[in-house]
Amino acid sequence: MDWNGTFKPFVSRPQPSLNFLYNYDCDQFPGMEMKNRVLTGAAHGGLVPAMVDKNEQKKKPLSSDQLDSLERSFQEEIKLDPDRKMRLSRELGLQPRQIAVWFQNRRARWKTKQLERLYDTLKHDYDVVSREKQKLQDEVMKLKGMLIEQATRNQVGSTEMSGEETIESTSVGTPNKATVVANSEQPVGECNYVFNVEYNPAVSSPYWGTVQLPCYP
């Protein structure tokens, strides 16, 4: 096609995002010493590596000015209505089809970036909630200790009160509501055995600082 006669180097490369995904330690690939350089491609007619300039279609990159305009337009509005498409087509000297394609691809790019952002905020929230949970565990431990202490003091300091009601009445009395939350998933913390000291951390530890990649489908 050889759209756009102009040509400018390129836009700046953004940061290498998403790089932490490449932790496939599952396998090694140390070889790769590439012998046998056989001049690949004299088979289909010698038109292989560069596709000799048939005076059309070289997929030139868009100029910086064009990209700036497109990007500005995209920031204003992620979708492209026909009027804007035609206007941009005229202003930038590109085919309307090129404008449409650019917006398609730009939306796709935006979506993956969005997932990335979403992941980051979720991870942050996960860490916050994990810390809060840890604090609550500590507090539960502390309160249990205080209860034990008080109970023993009661039994020592006062000789009455034989087998009335000391501490074993945990989890049965409900001081407040909101105990219906535990309906799905495994009952991890259980929260019913007050003097069960080690809480069973279960899912707490991973912490997601350095991700682990199991396998690839």
Partner DNA sequence: ATCCAACTAGTAATTAACTCA
Partner DNA sequence: ATGAGTTAATTACTAGTTGGA
Contact positions with DNA (CB under 7 A) in 40-69: 50-51, 58-59, 61-62, 67
Burial of residue 99 (number of CB atoms within 10 Å: 0-12, 13-18, 19+): buried
Nearest of 202, 199, 201 to residue 144 by alpha carbon: 199
Contact positions with DNA (CB under 7 A) in 93-152: 97-98, 100-105, 107-109, 111
Q: CB of 35: closest distance to DNA in angstroms?
A: 9
Q: CB of 121: closest distance to DNA in angstroms?
A: 19
Count of beta carbons in the 10 Å neighbourhood of residue 83: 8
Which of residues 50 and 178 has its CB atom nearest to DNA in the complex?
A: 50
Per-residue contact string for residues 42-81; x = within reach of its own copies by CB under 8 A: -xx--xxx-x--x-xx-----------------x-xxx-x
Nearest of 141, 145, 137, 138 to residue 167 by alpha carbon: 145
Which of residues 60 and 144 has its CB atom nearest to DNA in the complex?
A: 60
Q: CB of 109: closest distance to DNA in angstroms?
A: 5
Q: Give dist(CA 70, CA 92) in Å, integer.
A: 9
Contact criterion met (CB below 8 Å) for 84 and 102: no
Q: State the DSSP code for 26.
A: T
Which of residues 81 and 198 has its CB atom nearest to DNA in the complex?
A: 81
What is the longest distance spanned by two Cα atoms in the chain? Answer: 105
129 binds, among DNA, its own copies, none (CB under 5 to 8 A by kind): its own copies
Q: CB of 125: closest distance to DNA in angstroms?
A: 24
Crossing angle for the helix pair 82-92 and 96-157, nearest 10 degrees? 120
Contact positions with DNA (CB under 7 A) in 4-43: 9-11, 13-19, 21-22, 30, 32-34, 37
Contact criterion met (CB below 8 Å) for 49 and 41: yes
25 binds its own copies (CB under 8 A): no
Which of residues 9 and 202 has its CB atom nearest to its own copies in the complex?
A: 202
